[in-house]
C-alpha cells in the first residue's frame, strides 16, 4: 500500500522501505472486533487459581481466500485473557503442542525468576511447564508472549500473545470481598469486559500472495518485518458497536517493531487512565498517545449517540520528525471503527483521582547504573545465556540511566519490576510517562532516568532480563541479565540445564 513495497537487492524478496504508508480511507471495517475469551480456571484444593494453556499450531482466516498458518494458545491465533486478583495464588499448566521449543513470559509481572518464562524456562515439544506464584502488584493490563532466545520475534509474530489482567481493590473491576478493599477511588471506570472495557491487541502483519505471514527478511540492523496491515485481536478492519457513553480501551502494542501514535479521526480527546504497571494518579486528557512495542495503555473515550469514529495511528511530529530516524512514526493508518448506538447507557464515570502516584523520586538510591543501546548490544555487550551482568540487592532502590545511542528505534524493558521515569534529559517526564512503567520508548540521544525498587530476592543462579522490546533487536542480542540478591548472597552461575541448546 502506498508504494511501500520495494524489491530487495539480490533477490532476497520483498522488504519494507522507509516510505510513508497511508491506509486511511482504504479499510472498509467489515468485521466485528473479536474479543479474546477470558481463560477458564479451576480452584485447587489449596485455593489457587489454575489455568490450562495449550500452545498449538493452526490456521486462521483473516481475510478472503486461503487461511493463514498461525500459532495460538487454546486456539489458532492469540490466546485467552487470563484474569486474576491481587493476592491470589495462580498455577498455570503451559503445554507446548508445537514441534519446537518455546516459552511463555508474563510481561510486567513481579514473580520469581524461575516462573518468568524467559530464555531460561524453555518448554520442550510435548512438555508441560507449571509456573506458580502469588499475584503481588496493583491492578494492571499485563500480557504474555514467548521469550526463547533467538526466536522471540518469530514465535510472537506467528500469534503467541495474550493479555493477563490483574484486578485489585484500587480498580473498579474488583469483586466485593471486603477484606482487601483498601481504595475505592477508581470505582466507576467502565469495567464490563468486551462491552465497555475492551481489550485491543494491536499488531501489524505483512501477508504474502497466498495470505501467509511473510518471513522476516534478514537485513542487518533492521527492525524485522514492518507490516502494512493492522490486526486488532486478530481481526483485520474491525468495528466495535458501542452501547455505553464511556468506553475503556486496554491497548497493547503487540507488534514486533511498529510504533503507534494513537488518535481518533476527528481528533477528539480521550483520557489516559493507566499505563504498563497500572492506574495513573489521575486521568490525563490528550488527543494523541505514543506506544512502542510491549507498552500498554488504558484510555477512556466518550461517545455521542449515533456517531462513528475511527481509531488511527498518526505521524508523530515529536518522534519521527524530519530525521525520519524512527521509522513507523511517519505512517497514517486506520485501525478500528467505533459505531455508537442511537441511545447509549451512561453508568460509568471517570473518577478525578485514580491511584497513588509513584513514590520513588525521593527514595535513597543504593546504586546507579547506565545502559547504552546501540548496534544490537547494551553497553557494548551482546546477550550471552551464561553471563549474569550484575546483581541488585533485595529491598533497595536503584536508578538506571538509559540512552539510545545509535538513533534507530529502541525501547527498554525490565523484568520483575515496574519503574518510575524520574527524568527525561533532566526534565520531569511527560504525563504519559508519569505512572508505573515496565517498558519505555527511547527517543534517540535522550537520557531516561528510571527508578525501581527490587523487593524479593530469588535464586541467584536464575536471572531476569532487561532488553530492547523491538523483538528482532532482542533476538539479535540487545539484552542482558540480572539477579535479585538476598543479604549476603552473591551473583550465581547459570546452571547448564537452563542453557538453551
Which DSSP symbol is given to 77?
S
Of 105 and 413, the one with the shorter C-beta distance to Cu ion is 413
Please report, as residue ranges, which positions from 402 to 421 form the binding site for Cu ion (by CB under 5 A): 410
Q: Which of Cu ion, ligand C2O, none binds 415 (CB below 5-8 Å, type-dependent)? A: ligand C2O
> Should residue 432 be labelled a site residue for ligand C2O when binding is judged by CB under 6 A?
no
Shortest spacing between CB 413 and ligand C2O, in angstroms: 5
φ, ψ of residue 220 in degrees (nearest 5): -60, 135
Please select the residue that binds ligand C2O; options are 85, 86, 110, 145, rule is CB under 6 A: 145
CA–CA separation, 328 and 334 (whole Å): 14
The stretch near Cu ion (CB under 5 A) out of 123-131, 248-256, 316-324, 472-480 is 472-480
> Should residue 123 be labelled a site residue for Cu ion when binding is judged by CB under 5 A?
no
With CA atoms as reference, report the closest residue to 73 among 131, 155, 191.
155
With CA atoms as reference, report the closest residue to 120 among 395, 458, 487, 486.
458
CA–CA separation, 296 and 201 (whole Å): 9
Of 213 and 464, the one with the shorter C-beta distance to ligand C2O is 464
Q: Which of ligand C2O, Cu ion, none binds 468 (CB below 5-8 Å, type-dependent)? A: Cu ion
Please report, as residue ranges, which positions from 281 to 340 form the binding site for ligand C2O (by CB under 6 A): 294
Under 8 Å between Cβ of 82 and 97 = no
Q: Which of Cu ion, ligand C2O, none binds 252 (CB below 5-8 Å, type-dependent)? A: none
Shortest spacing between CB 221 and ligand C2O, in angstroms: 21
> Should residue 479 be labelled a site residue for Cu ion when binding is judged by CB under 5 A?
no
Of 353 and 499, the one with the shorter C-beta distance to ligand C2O is 499
Please report, as residue ranges, which positions from 20 to 49 form the binding site for ligand C2O (by CB under 6 A): none
CA–CA separation, 394 and 367 (whole Å): 12
Of 156 and 404, the one with the shorter C-beta distance to ligand C2O is 156
* Coil/strand/helix, residue 104: coil
Shortest spacing between CB 200 and ligand C2O, in angstroms: 17
Burial track 221-253 (b if 16+ CB lie within 10 A, e otherwise): ebbbbbbbbbbbbbbbbbbbebebbbbbbbbbb
The stretch near ligand C2O (CB under 6 A) out of 39-47, 185-193, 231-239, 461-469 is 461-469
Q: Which of ligand C2O, Cu ion, none binds 410 (CB below 5-8 Å, type-dependent)? A: Cu ion
C-alpha cell belonging to residue 445? 540521544
User: Parallel, antiparallel, or unpaired: how do β-strands 31-32 and 289-291 relate?
Assistant: unpaired
Shortest spacing between CB 106 and ligand C2O, in angstroms: 9
Under 8 Å between Cβ of 74 and 84 = no
With CA atoms as reference, report the closest residue to 379 among 478, 446, 445.
478
Closest-CB residue for ligand C2O? 107
267 CB burial (10 A radius; 0-12, 13-18, 19+) = exposed
Size of the residue set binding Cu ion (CB under 5 A): 4
With CA atoms as reference, report the closest residue to 298 among 279, 285, 311.
279
Shortest spacing between CB 490 and ligand C2O, in angstroms: 24
Burial track 34-55 (b if 16+ CB lie within 10 A, e otherwise): bbbeebebeeeeeebbbbebeb
Q: How close are the terminal C-alpha atoms of the chain, in Å?
A: 41
> Should residue 468 be labelled a site residue for Cu ion when binding is judged by CB under 5 A?
yes
Of 360 and 470, the one with the shorter C-beta distance to Cu ion is 470
Which DSSP symbol is given to 79?
-
With CA atoms as reference, report the closest residue to 280 among 351, 348, 346, 349.
351
Of 450 and 465, the one with the shorter C-beta distance to ligand C2O is 465
> Should residue 107 be labelled a site residue for ligand C2O when binding is judged by CB under 6 A?
yes
Q: Which of ligand C2O, Cu ion, none binds 465 (CB below 5-8 Å, type-dependent)? A: ligand C2O
Please select the residue that binds ligand C2O; options are 85, 95, 120, 147, rule is CB under 6 A: 147
Shortest spacing between CB 382 and ligand C2O, in angstroms: 16
Please select the residue that binds ligand C2O; options are 403, 465, 470, 483, rule is CB under 6 A: 465
Residue owning grid cell 550471552:
384
Q: Which of Cu ion, ligand C2O, none binds 377 (CB below 5-8 Å, type-dependent)? A: none
Please spell the DSSP secondary structure of 434-459, one letter per residue.
Answer: SS-BSEEEE-TT-EEEEEEEE-----
CA–CA separation, 115 and 300 (whole Å): 33
Shortest spacing between CB 227 and ligand C2O, in angstroms: 19
Residue owning grid cell 540478591:
485
Shortest spacing between CB 108 and ligand C2O, in angstroms: 8
CA–CA separation, 414 and 370 (whole Å): 13
Of 33 and 201, the one with the shorter C-beta distance to ligand C2O is 201
**Cross-strand partners of 452:** 398
The stretch near ligand C2O (CB under 6 A) out of 71-79, 299-307, 425-433, 463-471 is 463-471
Shortest spacing between CB 383 and ligand C2O, in angstroms: 11
List residues near Cu ion by CB under 5 A.
Answer: 410, 468, 470, 473
Sites of contact with ligand C2O (CB under 6 A): 105, 107, 145, 147, 294, 413, 415, 465, 467, 469
Amino acid at each position: 500500500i502506498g508504494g511501500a513495497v520495494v524489491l530487495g537487492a539480490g533477490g532476497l524478496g520483498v522488504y519494507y522501505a522507509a516510505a510513508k504508508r497511508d491506509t486511511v480511507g482504504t479499510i472498509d471495517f467489515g468485521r466485528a472486533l473479536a474479543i479474546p475469551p477470558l481463560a477458564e480456571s479451576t480452584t485447587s484444593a489449596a485455593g489457587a487459581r489454575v489455568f490450562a494453556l495449550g500452545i498449538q499450531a493452526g490456521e486462521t482466516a483473516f481475510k478472503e481466500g486461503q487461511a493463514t498458518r498461525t500459532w495460538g494458545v487454546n486456539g489458532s491465533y492469540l490466546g485467552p485473557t487470563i484474569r486474576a486478583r491481587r493476592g491470589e495464588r495462580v498455577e498455570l499448566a503451559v503445554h507446548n503442542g508445537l514441534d519446537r521449543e518455546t516459552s511463555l513470559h508474563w510481561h510486567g509481572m513481579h514473580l520469581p525468576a524461575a516462573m518468568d518464562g524467559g530464555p531460561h524456562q524453555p518448554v520442550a515439544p510435548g512438555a508441560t511447564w507449571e509456573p506458580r506464584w502469588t499475584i503481588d502488584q496493583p491492578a494492571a493490563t499485563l500480557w504474555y508472549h514467548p521469550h526463547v532466545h533467538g526466536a522471540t520475534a518469530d514465535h510472537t509474530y506467528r500469534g503467541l500473545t495474550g493479555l493477563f489482567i490483574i484486578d485489585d481493590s484500587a480498580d473498579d473491576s474488583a469483586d466485593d470481598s471486603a477484606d482487601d478493599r483498601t481504595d475505592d477511588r477508581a470505582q466507576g471506570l467502565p469495567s464490563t469486559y468486551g462491552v465497555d472495557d475492551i481489550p485491543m491487541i494491536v499488531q501489524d502483519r505483512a501477508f504474502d500472495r497466498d495470505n501467509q505471514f511473510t518471513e522476516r527478511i534478514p537485513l542487518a540492523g533492521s527492525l524485522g518485518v514492518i507490516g502494512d496491515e493492522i490486526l486488532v485481536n486478530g481481526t483485520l478492519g474491525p468495528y466495535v458497536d458501542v452501547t455505553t457513553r464511556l468506553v475503556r480501551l486496554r491497548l497493547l502494542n503487540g507488534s514486533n517493531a511498529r510504533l503507534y501514535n494513537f488518535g481518533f479521526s476527528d481528533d477528539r480527546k480521550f483520557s489516559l487512565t493507566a499505563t504498563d504497571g497500572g492506574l495513573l494518579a489521575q486521568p490525563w486528557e490528550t488527543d494523541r498517545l505514543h506506544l512502542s512495542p510491549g507498552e500498554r495503555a488504558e484510555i477512556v473515550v466518550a461517545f455521542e449517540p449515533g456517531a462513528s469514529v475511527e481509531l488511527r495511528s498518526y505521524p508523530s511530529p515529536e518522534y519521527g520528525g524530519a530525521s525520519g530516524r524512527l521509522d513507523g512514526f511517519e505512517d497514517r493508518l486506520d485501525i478500528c471503527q467505533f459505531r455508537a448506538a442511537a441511545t447509549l447507557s451512561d453508568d460509568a464515570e471517570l473518577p478525578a483521582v485514580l491511584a497513588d502516584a509513584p513514590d520513588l523520586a525521593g527514595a535513597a538510591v543504593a546504586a546507579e547504573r547506565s545502559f547504552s543501546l546501540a548496534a544490537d548490544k547494551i553497553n557494548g555487550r551482546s546477550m550471552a545465556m551464561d553471563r549474569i551482568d550484575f546483581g541488585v540487592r533485595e529491598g533497595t532502590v536503584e536508578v538506571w540511566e538509559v540512552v539510545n545511542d545509535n538513533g534507530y528505534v529502541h525501547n527498554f524493558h525490565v523484568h520483575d519490576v515496574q519503574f518510575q521515569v524520574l527524568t527525561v534529559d533532566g526534565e520531569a517526564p511527560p504525563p504519559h510517562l508519569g505512572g508505573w512503567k515496565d517498558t519505555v520508548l527511547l527517543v534517540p540521544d535522550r537520557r531516561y532516568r528510571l527508578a525501581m525498587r527490587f523487593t524479593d530476592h530469588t535464586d541467584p543462579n536464575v536471572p531476569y532480563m532487561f532488553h530492547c522490546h523491538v523483538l528482532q533487536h532482542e533476538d539479535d542480542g540487545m539484552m542482558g541479565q540480572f539477579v535479585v540478591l538476598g543479604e549476603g548472597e552473591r551473583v550465581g552461575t547459570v546452571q547448564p540445564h537452563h542453557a538453551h541448546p
